[in-house]
Amino acid sequence: MLVDSSSTRDNIIVKPLMASAKKAGLEVHPYTFRADKGRIPAYANDFNDMMDIFYHQVKVDGLFTDFPDKAVEFLNQH
């Protein structure tokens, strides 16, 4: 709901919902980020890339994942 499904690796399209939520003063924590095969969207190379897109381009405040070890590792590196 935050990234348009027509996005590509070179063109991430953030949907208006994100701006609306921020304008309303809300924090955004999408769910559920998974590293399983078939769960990485086509616009991301892998789990870390997906996290990078959501934290640095979409600008979420946090997120929910079934892979907290991978999320913590990503956050510690960035």
The whole-angstrom separation of Cα 25 and Cα 28 is 10
Across 35-74, b (16+ Cβ under 10 Å) vs e yields: beeeebeebbeebbebbbbbbeebebeebebebeebbeeb
- Residue 78: what pLDDT? 84
Q: What is the pTM assigned to this prediction?
A: 0.92
Dump pLDDT digits (tens) for 40-75: 999 999 999 999 999 999 999 999 999 999 999 999
Contact between residue 31 and residue 71 where contact means Cβ atoms under 8 Å apart:
no
